[in-house]
Structure 1
Amino acid sequence: MNEIKNILNDRFEAIERRIVLVLEQLDDEQVNWRPNDSSNSISNLIVHISGNINDRIGKGMNKKPFTRDRDGEFEVQVITKNDLIEIIKTSLREVKVTLMAMNNEGLLETQKTGNREQTNLEVFIQSATHFSEHMGQILYIAKILKDEEYLTTTVPKKKRV
């Protein structure tokens, strides 16, 4: 199980690193930009990721009191990029600390997520997938906004010898 935890932790580290690198390229107006009324801004997506973490990890695993307003996560928001950086760092820190502190029995405990029971391990795996999907949306919005000035968030590939 430690190998699985390390793989998941690395995934959460990469998600955090890439989202922060994107946010650092944008200004406050850009992080709150919505392409149209039925689409989300980067702010919406980060607030949604944080809501998911607070619900599934904070409340579901760490037993912290939390009442989620999922619909509110997608309403028009105006949040500074610095606040968004802090939100994503704080939220993903809770995920990583919780994951790495959890023993095998804890990973196999279940919680109700939506209408089904899932083990905590399944919640971590599903969260990594869910956050990666939203990270892709965040990257795409940033590419639209920055166009030629967009700097990739991936690590450059090494040349093969």
Structure 2
Amino acid sequence: MDYLSLALKDMRALKKNGSKTIDRLNLDQLMHKPSTESNSLADIVKHLHGNMLSRWTDFLTADGEKDWRKREEEFQASFSSKEELFQLWEEGWELTLKTIENLNEEDLNKKIKIRGEDQSVVEAIQRQLVHYASHVGQMMYIGKMILNEEWESLSIPRGKSEEFLQMKLNQGR
């Protein structure tokens, strides 16, 4: 599997887990801050949206930190509906995935800038994968804290590891 295909696969998996988490919660739960120093799930969505628009707009030709981005405001999310929140989520991911889909192998060693710092396209993609994974993990954790026993695992449910392993091993036979 080539790098771009792998990056797209991983990005889509992150989007899927974040989407499933958002789907399970109502607007009040999405706006809930677990503590005074925590971000709500809505804050994280707004931050990811701002980051994605900034990083992936004119990806190969402009610095990834755009003048129009208001990063500090991303952590003060206010939504009138869950649909409004989900629209930002989808818009950010659509730009991210389309941009990566339109890259080719020759683009991977090109240099781009983020906050004036040179990096290869591969480094920039990896930077965003790590960033997005940390925030989607936060989203899932917040969702799990809110729903507690009502949370349905997005991976292998607790106590089902051996069953899952055997199922995987049997698929290969």
The normalised TM-score by structure 1 is 0.87
Q: Secondary structure at the match of 1:112?
A: strand
In the TM superposition, what is the alpha-carbon distance from 1:60 to its structure 2 partner? Answer: 3.4
Q: Secondary structure at the match of 2:112?
A: strand
Q: Which runs of 5+ in 2 are unaligned?
A: 158-163
Residue aligning to 1:30: 29
Task: Supply the distance in 2 between the matched residues of 1:60 and 1:71 (Cα, whole angstroms).
Answer: 22
* 8 Å contact from structure 1 (residues 59, 66) kept in 2: no
Task: Supply the distance in 2 between the matched residues of 1:54 and 1:145 (Cα, whole angstroms).
Answer: 29
Residue aligning to 2:45: 46
Structure 1 runs of 4+ with >4 Å offset: 62-66
In the TM superposition, what is the alpha-carbon distance from 1:66 to its structure 2 partner? Answer: 6.1
In the TM superposition, what is the alpha-carbon distance from 1:122 to its structure 2 partner? Answer: 1.3
Over 3 Å counting, the alpha-carbon distance change for 1:100 and 1:136 in structure 2 is same
In the TM superposition, what is the alpha-carbon distance from 1:76 to its structure 2 partner? Answer: 4.5
2:44 matched to 1:18? no
* 8 Å contact from structure 1 (residues 50, 91) kept in 2: yes
Q: Secondary structure at the match of 2:119?
A: strand
In the TM superposition, what is the alpha-carbon distance from 1:154 to its structure 2 partner? Answer: 2.5
Task: Supply the distance in 2 between the matched residues of 1:112 and 1:62 (Cα, whole angstroms).
Answer: 9
In the TM superposition, what is the alpha-carbon distance from 1:55 to its structure 2 partner? Answer: 1.1
Q: How many residues align?
A: 160
Task: Supply the distance in 2 between the matched residues of 1:127 and 1:73 (Cα, whole angstroms).
Answer: 17
Describe the superposition over 1:121-144 as per-residue Cα deviations: whole angstroms up to 9, x where unpaired. 211111111100001100010011
Task: Supply the distance in 2 between the matched residues of 1:106 and 1:16 (Cα, whole angstroms).
Answer: 24
Choose between structure 1 and 2 for higher RCO, CA contacts under 8 A separated by at least 6 residues. Answer: 1
* 8 Å contact from structure 1 (residues 53, 95) kept in 2: yes
Question: Rg bigger for which structure?
Answer: 2
RMSD: 2.3
Residue aligning to 2:93: 92
* 8 Å contact from structure 2 (residues 49, 88) kept in 1: yes
Identical positions, percent: 21
Deviates more, 1:3-12 or 1:78-87: 78-87
Task: Supply the distance in 2 between the matched residues of 1:131 and 1:79 (Cα, whole angstroms).
Answer: 24
Task: Supply the distance in 2 between the matched residues of 1:58 and 1:141 (Cα, whole angstroms).
Answer: 29
Aligned partner letter, 1:97: K
Aligned partner letter, 1:45: I
Q: Which runs of 5+ in 1 are unaligned?
A: none
Residue aligning to 1:83: 84
Task: Supply the distance in 2 between the matched residues of 1:89 and 1:6 (Cα, whole angstroms).
Answer: 20
Aligned partner letter, 2:9: D
Deviates more, 1:55-64 or 1:17-26: 55-64
Q: Secondary structure at the match of 1:50?
A: helix
Residue aligning to 1:111: 112
